[in-house]
Chain A
Amino acid sequence: MTFLAELAINGALVGLMYALAASGITLIYKSSGVVNLAQGGFVMAGAYLVWAFIARLGLGLIPGILAAAASMGALGWLTERLALRRMIGQPVIMILMLTFGLEVVLRGLVPGTLGADTKPMPIPISQAPVWLGDILINRTYILGGAVAIVMVALLALFFRTRAGIAMRAVSDDHLASWAVGIPVERTVALSWAVSGGVAAMTGVLWGAVQGVDWSLSLLLIKALSVAVLGGLDSLAGVVIAGFIVGVLESVISGYVDPFVGGGTREVVAAVVIFLTILVRPYGLFGREVIERV
């Protein structure tokens, strides 16, 4: 029982951190209907930037993270401005492949210039675990889960500001938004910028968990499974789906790994994506799109 609780609690905290990664995908999908397959690359680039700002340039912890978030925001904005905006009206596969091309570029460029070996994220968190009765919890996960909740809450608040309301309108209908004077292009670009900033924050957390190297970009599949299960365009869905995926992954790998020789953790996210799309494509909380000829 303790074992199950331990797996579930740690899994839930990890799931919250997945949710933060997924919220970047959700933000962009909400505003423009594009699924950004480069989100994993963005997270990796964000983590590298935080490391570079703090360890290489000697900025403090908070200024370093803020500088990285700002740079990633600029990168997100530039991506939309220079690449995605030219692809409006192209088939879905073209846009998906464009974002995947970006992912490949980032995966080569960032470790290529900043060094491919795994680096420790320069954040002072003690490695000692937290004991909750008999249950052992990873301290980094607690911090990560807390930060993830705060970030998602901030995003939810952001949707109540003027720019956020404009973004909701844009997610509803581009044409109607233009008609009432909302600058649709600028709003979409803003969503990319915010998503870049979120990616930097995700990079800090995951960099602290597993170190900074290219493998951070593999977070894409987990983030995608959370976003799909949550419904792609729902922030509440992302948090709940994050819980579900995190707990499932942790519990299933905890109980099944001894029988199959490990590695179950890697496949749970993929199975979640497949089953969600087969059974309920619009996810738990997503909007069901009615298609007409």
Chain B
Amino acid sequence: MFYRECGVRHTTYAADRALAVIPFERVMLGVLIAAAAAAPWLVPDLFLVSYLTPWLIWTAAILGLNLLMGWAGQIHLGYGAVMAVGAYSAVHLARAGAPFVLAVIGGGLAAAVVGSLFGLPAMRVRGLYLAMSTLALQGIVDWLLVQVPAISGGAQATLLVPRPDFLGLPLATDAARYWTALAFAVLVALFVANVRRTDVGRALIALREKDYAAAVIGINVFYYKALAFFVSSFIGGMSGAVLAFMYYRAVTPEQYGLHVSIMAVAMVIVGGLGSIIGSFLGAGFILLAPIWIEHGLRQLAAALSINISPSTLAHMPLVIYGALITGFLLLEPLGLAKLYDNVRNYLRVWPFGYTKK
């Protein structure tokens, strides 16, 4: 219906390879970005600060992880550590007087260097073993963060983040923080969407399908694996830094612990491996669904006047979050992106449902 391709024809290769081929998608994207830009006037402040801003920053982070997991097919259970390196480096740079943008880029570079270390085992092993070695590295980085006072100031310490500005323009209001997050997420999304169309993207996909086979057809497996880890860690580090500057406004080691790595992988899988809209939906779903479901359950319990002990209530978000991960894996392993795709494919050929695309 809406996604009609009737009358869409391409006379150049460039048009054929455009990011959004179907006219409706172009319109929808424009409307979505316009609405996102106008959000500070449309939604309440609380909603903006505590839901939309982290959602956008997490989308950027998940796009970076999805580049690695979805396109290059490498498992990474230590993304939280990479984000931590980015956040701490950026904050230290900013405290030393670097401007916000340079601090974030510096944080990204530091994270990329450390993240390439995570990629080291990928040169030898993959799959299960890669998962376990990245898990171990997460533990090591966590430990270093807590134990080296020069980085974190000690286990219990909180580093305050200096007030960021952009080219001399102070980013002090909630709306300014939100717009920074939005601009960052859009930039990263554009980058990742374009990587998919280049030779690098094709090489990564070949790598994902089977690295030996990719090597046989002339892809330098070492180089592209290292590149995938480097770029994804760069994005992750910058996201960690932006998260620290625009959302937390202070950094502590627990903000980027193992549970964050697990959450990031859950976002990628629930969203859909190798999908851009999936990264956006997955980040939002894992971030917001447990909060809302818990809220709903509390109200339900209150309405039915069931007494739930505080201890049970305190553990409920954890149960819901875990159940969402397992439930999605069992019922829709391809994630939210697949659900979106189902609707899109249905509408593309509507009313001729039998011409399956």
Partner of A112 from B127, B133, B139, B311 at Cβ < 8 Å: B311
Judge whether B212 is part of the interface by a CB distance below 8 angstroms: yes
Residue of A nearest to B312 (CB): A112
B contacts with A: majority SS:
helix
Q: A19 vs B212: C-alpha distance in the bound complex, in angstroms?
A: 35
Would B326 and A98 count as touching, CB distance under 8 A?
yes
Interface residues of B in 278-314 (CB under 8 A from A): 311-312, 314
Tell which of B125, B133, B146, B317 has the most Cβ of chain A within 10 Å: B133
Judge whether B265 is part of the interface by a CB distance below 8 angstroms: yes
A98/B330 contact (C-beta < 8 A), A104-B262, A108-B315, A115-B311 known: yes
Judge whether B160 is part of the interface by a CB distance below 8 angstroms: no
Interface residue tally for chain B (C-beta within 8 Å): 48
Would A97 and B325 count as touching, CB distance under 8 A?
yes
Interface residues of B in 103-162 (CB under 8 A from A): 120-121, 124-125, 127-129, 131-133, 135-140, 143, 146-147
Interface residues of A in 240-281 (CB under 8 A from B): 260-261, 263, 266-267, 269-274, 277-278, 281
Tell which of A111, A271, A272, A273 has the most Cβ of chain B within 10 Å: A273
A293/B322 contact (C-beta < 8 A), A87-B330, A111-B311, A270-B143 known: no
Would B132 and A104 count as touching, CB distance under 8 A?
no
Judge whether B163 is part of the interface by a CB distance below 8 angstroms: no
Q: A277 vs B75: C-alpha distance in the bound complex, in angstroms?
A: 14
Interface residue tally for chain A (C-beta within 8 Å): 47
List A contacts of B121 (CB < 8 A). Answer: 274, 277-278
Partner of B315 from A83, A92, A112, A224 at Cβ < 8 Å: A112
A105/B322 contact (C-beta < 8 A), A93-B265, A112-B311, A116-B315 known: yes
Would A263 and B131 count as touching, CB distance under 8 A?
no
List A contacts of B137 (CB < 8 A). Answer: 270, 274
Judge whether A126 is part of the interface by a CB distance below 8 angstroms: no
Name the distance in Å between B84's Cβ and chain A's nearest Cβ.
15
Q: A209 vs B212: C-alpha distance in the bound complex, in angstroms?
A: 47
Would A86 and B330 count as touching, CB distance under 8 A?
yes
Would A108 and B319 count as touching, CB distance under 8 A?
yes
Judge whether B321 is part of the interface by a CB distance below 8 angstroms: yes
Judge whether B57 is part of the interface by a CB distance below 8 angstroms: no
Q: Can you list 5 A-B contacts with CB-CB less than 8 angstroms, sorted by A residue number?
A: A90-B329, A92-B131, A105-B319, A108-B320, A271-B136
Residues on B facing A (Cβ under 8 Å)? 69, 75, 77, 120-121, 124-125, 127-129, 131-133, 135-140, 143, 146-147, 210, 212-213, 216, 262, 265-266, 269, 311-312, 314-326, 329-330, 333
Residues on A facing B (Cβ under 8 Å)? 35, 83, 86-87, 90, 92-94, 96-98, 100-109, 111-113, 115-116, 221, 224-225, 228, 260-261, 263, 266-267, 269-274, 277-278, 281, 291-293
